[in-house]
Amino acid sequence: MQTKIASYTSKITELLPNSKVIKLIGYTKGNTDYQKAKSPVGSWKNSDSLNEEQISGWIDQDGWIGVRIPKGRFLVDVDDTQEGELLKELLEGENIHHHAIKTPNGFQFIFKGEDKKTIEQGQYQKYVNRLGIAQDTRAAEKGYIVFPTETTKGRYVLTQSMGELDEVPHYLYKVWNGQKTPSPMSYPYDGSGSRDGDFYDLSRRLLTCGVSKKDALESLQLAYKYFVPYKEDFPLSTIKEKVESAFKKVKEGKDESTNEIADFETHVNDTSDKKVIPKPFKVGANATLFEEKEDKDGNLITKLVSRKTPYITKEFHNVERPQVLYEIEWREQNRTVKEVVPASTIAIRKELLELSDKGFSVNDNNVKKIITYFDQYLLINTIDQHYAVERLGHIKDTFIHPAITKDVEIMAIDHGEKQLLEGFKVAGTGDTWKKEVFERVKQQPKAVFFILSSFASVITKDLRLQPFVVDLSGTTSQGKTTTLKAAGSVWGNESLISEWNATKVSIERKAAYLNSFPLLLDDTRKADERILKDVIYQFSGGRSKGRGSLKGSQREYTWNNILLSTGEVSLNEYAKNQGGAAARIIPLIDEPLKKDHENIIQLHEAMESNYGAIGIDFLKVWLENKKDLITEYHNFRKFYVDKAKGNEVLNRLAGYYAAVHFTGSILKDKMNFDIDLKAIAGLFDDIANENKSTDKPMQFLEEILTDLDSSRQDIYYDYLPQVHKAIYKKGQLYLIPAYLSRFLGVEEKATRREWLKRGLTVGKQEKNSYVDYKPLKHKGKTYRVIPVNMDIVKELGFDFEEVSGNDFLN
């Protein structure tokens, strides 16, 4: 075993001396996804390098190891096996000292990386080199590779140079972005095919992108020597002819087929801060963008294109889905404006024109030329590439928090998202928040539960719970908004709080952007009542409404968090005729905070200088311990399921309520919070007793009895009523099915089934099942009716016995 360990460390030292060794996921814990296997375990940039024993232990678990490229080394990665083999032959034939690693998809070549020109190459993906081959690179201390071990099938050290490594040869320098403009070459050329046209195209592109004629000729001659097996009717002299022909056309700036100035030519014309401006564009005074061209008489004509010159400074690749975004910047008097836009924005006229709202100088007259400028700019500039996410919280196998996520850029495309992102600020510490904020509410169970729900939002996905709502309702001036602010201060400042005065779409977008963090909405009075019940259902489903587009279906947004709501009327009341709503809402009714004016003022002052830190502290505790803690959650859930006593709605709420109680136990045990967990448990009983909407079948029955009690003329006693709702005969109340259908609507079948199961109606056996109806003869006719359990009727305080005239006189 010691020999195996030593062989890895010594081999790493030989190939990449003084490098850092990190853990990669590999095929641990049953993973079979190759791309995921290459991902690091945790934050690798700040971790310590693995020692010999750790390497061995991780490999024994089917893990992989990664090695960061050290100073003095540079790596070129060709993700094409055939082209990699050709390049390997070229390097060996030209006696270029290098190390080579065979990968499942191609080859990796390690060179010395001390020369300034090598270092300036930087790290990039899918750029075309001077040979016309697409390649990736790993620059010193900026990237890592999967190092070959016994667990990396198809990956091994192919050759190792015995002498000192050479610097990267110039023909492997990057030229243009292959993701935007693929290489024209189709190596190897083992037939006549398109050799002539392809070599001309490569010559022209190299010269267009600023490669000297001498270097272009050398690169193409090497490609001819090693990559063209079939040389019949294609002598070496042809290569020089192609380069000379391309050089002439590029110098003239004319297209071969039309003899007109080619719009796509991109000669370097101006450079500023490593930003290369493509010809025929030029930056003028005050950062204006001009176009310079010669007229037919050879006179130089300069035309203004835009009052502001835009630069593309960053390229972002979305972690969740295949999407590219760019950061564009331009000067605006004494400041620099930066906007992140989808790649389509700089390529589609309509979308680019929308940047005029942001102050950019684009209009119907210049939009076409600016699109051309952007396309050429991308071709000749190396844009820094970054990974990006367009929302927060759980993203694949990591957790995104604005204050602690360093390796991934967090996007915020519109103003609403920017406001939320800016809300994740930190002031004070976790300890000061506990002492100055939580200390002032800890004796108020409803306020504590509401705040605990804010913490719990980030763990619901790990607990495999759907999104749900915690609703704080009551009359005005009872501390609801203050409690909501306290819940928001767990993660940041007041910018995290929105009002219910919003559209369903905007609420969906905010829920999706926050993703795992709580959605905080204040004051249901400001919402359209028709929206509220739809939002409850839509939110708890965790997915936005499917919508069509001209090309098919729009992308659906998802989320997995908790909605914290306040209002004077419970959300259950807005959706009282929707039985499923009650199973999605934990209702907290009346006075979350005692009316202590001085304490409330001090609480507000404390929240102004203490926010955000405690959420980060909790998140770190959870991420470090969640594997051990999750098993404890199921004990809390069982406890509340038992307390539900078979009530279907309370059974559903039990899982949600348990998550909040479970969160409180973590804060108490792991972070020394002073929380009265018994008081939190007691609130569950209050919810069951105080709010009948948590028992929707019973609520429906009570509403029906109330309706009948207020409209006795619709009950058939002795005379048939005009509107027939029920029959009362010999002390028994019978409901008419047609009335129930009108009253309950889509909830009818489910409600009647639940009534029968719980004995609220009196059933009878019919064949092998029970039904809730029976035939009843009354006043000479037979009716199908549903008998109600009269013990329940009396328990609810109703009496439908009619008082006769004689009884009244007596």
Please give the Cα distance from 290 to 81 (Å, whole number).
44
The 10s digit of each residue's pLDDT in 187-218 is 999 887 788 899 999 999 999 888 888 999 99
pLDDT of 286 strictly over 50: yes
What pLDDT sits at residue 408? 85
Q: Which two tokens stand for residue 337?
A: 């404006």
Maximum Cα interatomic distance, the chain, rounded to a whole number of Å: 128
- Count of beta carbons in the 10 Å neighbourhood of residue 549: 8
Side-chain half-sphere CA neighbours of 414 within 13 A? 6
Nearest to 374 by CA among 354, 345, 353: 345
Please give the Cα distance from 166 to 318 (Å, whole number).
36
Cβ neighbourhood burial of 774 (10 Å; 0-12, 13-18, 19+) = middle
What pLDDT sits at residue 378? 87
- Cα 148 to chain centroid, rounded: 32
What pLDDT sits at residue 520? 94
What pLDDT sits at residue 558? 87
pLDDT of 458 strictly over 90: yes
Specify the pairing of strand 144-146 against strand 726-729: unpaired
What is 228-274 written as a DSSP string?
Answer: -S--TT--THHHHHHHHHHHHHHHHTB-TTT-SB-TT---EEEEETT
Rg (CA), the chain: 36
Segment 538-543 mean pLDDT? 80
pLDDT of 668 strictly over 90: yes
Please give the Cα distance from 485 to 443 (Å, whole number).
17
Please give the Cα distance from 560 to 517 (Å, whole number).
8
What pLDDT sits at residue 633? 93
pLDDT of 270 strictly over 60: no
Peptide bond into 402 cis (omega under 30): no
The 10s digit of each residue's pLDDT in 617-630 is 999 999 999 988 99
What is 730-776 written as a DSSP string?
Answer: TTEEEE-HHHHHHHHGGGHHHHHHHHHHHTSB--EEETTEEES-EEE
What pLDDT sits at residue 271? 41
The 10s digit of each residue's pLDDT in 795-809 is 999 999 875 544 433
pTM: 0.60
Segment 73-79 mean pLDDT? 95
Residue 580 confidence class, pLDDT cut points 50, 70, 90:
low
Cβ neighbourhood burial of 262 (10 Å; 0-12, 13-18, 19+) = middle
Segment 503-530 mean pLDDT? 88
pLDDT of 430 strictly over 50: yes
Please give the Cα distance from 44 to 735 (Å, whole number).
68
The 10s digit of each residue's pLDDT in 127-148 is 999 999 999 999 988 889 999 9
Segment 549-558 mean pLDDT? 58
- What does the mean pLDDT of the chain come to? 86
Report yes or no: 496 and 429 within 8 Å, Cβ to Cβ.
no
Q: Give the strand order in the sheet containing 732-735.
A: 715-716, 726-729, 732-735, 781-787, 774-778
Residue 252 confidence class, pLDDT cut points 50, 70, 90:
low
What pLDDT sits at residue 267? 38
Residues written for the chain: 810
Q: Which two tokens stand for residue 630?
A: 């999750």
Counting residues of the chain whose pLDDT is more than 70, the rounded percentage is 92
Segment 565-589 mean pLDDT? 77
Segment 226-234 mean pLDDT? 91
Peptide bond into 280 cis (omega under 30): yes
